[in-house]
Amino acid sequence: MGSSPMWWSGPPPSPWSRGLGKWWALVGPFVVKAVGFLLLAGLLFRVLWSFPSSPAPALQITKGKCSLFNGEWIPNPSGPAYTNASCRFIDDHQNCMMNGRPDKEYLHWKWKPYGCDLPPFDAVRFLDSVRNKGWGLIGDSILRNQVQSLLCLLSKVNATDFTFSFSRDALYSVPILYLNMMGSFTKLY
């Protein structure tokens, strides 16, 4: 009774004793830092960007399920929210009327999703919901066009609050009222 079994002598065996100790010594600190960074990034995102300062307008669902991606183009007698003449963010090479497009019917259409009515864009409400926040946008010419369209809609609020610097292949920044927006666009070859 004086001697104990061999596996009881000394400290219990480590799960890393089969060759994982060296691997974990190399990779472990990186894994711990990566998990910590992801948790911190998630927490910061939750705290800083997930609480809008004013509620967004709800879609009015009229029948069944609303699908923003399925719908049809319908006539819009009120015309476009902006034109090439009213928005300084449209480049000359994008200006259809200046470049000789004879028809203007394409300006009088709007997207109507199936199952709901989209409220008109409210620039003041949008700017209130992103007040003191920042956006980073990275994309190609499609995203660039969408950003230009957003800038045209927002400039109707107070065009004097806009500063805009842009080069076709580089970074631009747009401090708008209380929103800081930065974009980087590149050509896809």
Q: How confident is the model over 99-157, as pLDDT tens digits?
A: 888 888 888 999 899 888 888 888 888 877 877 777 776 777 787 788 888 888 887 77
What is the pLDDT, as a whole number, of residue 163?
56
Residue identified by tokens 């747009």 is 174
Residue 121 sits at φ, ψ, to 5 deg, of -65, 130
What is the pLDDT, as a whole number, of residue 73?
92
Two tokens, residue 176: 């708008």
pLDDT at 161 over 90: no
Q: How confident is the model over 47-97, as pLDDT tens digits?
A: 555 545 555 555 454 556 788 889 999 999 888 888 888 888 788 888 888
Q: How confident is the model over 22-61, as pLDDT tens digits?
A: 666 677 777 767 766 676 666 555 555 554 555 555 545 4
DSSP for 137-187 reads: EEE-HHHHHHHHHHHHHHTTT-GGGB--B--TTSEEEEEETTEEEEEEE--
Distances (CA, A) of 162 to 89, 101, 123, 143, 177: 11, 29, 14, 19, 7
CB within 8 Å of 83: residues ≥ 6 apart: 97, 107
Two tokens, residue 33: 């830092």
Chain centroid, CA 60 distance in Å: 24
What is the pLDDT, as a whole number, of residue 72?
93
Which of 146, 141, 184 lies closest to 165 in space, CA to CA?
184
Q: How many CA atoms lie within 13 A of 79 on its CB side?
A: 5
Which of 119, 124, 109 lies closest to 156 in space, CA to CA?
124
What is the pLDDT, as a whole number, of residue 75?
93
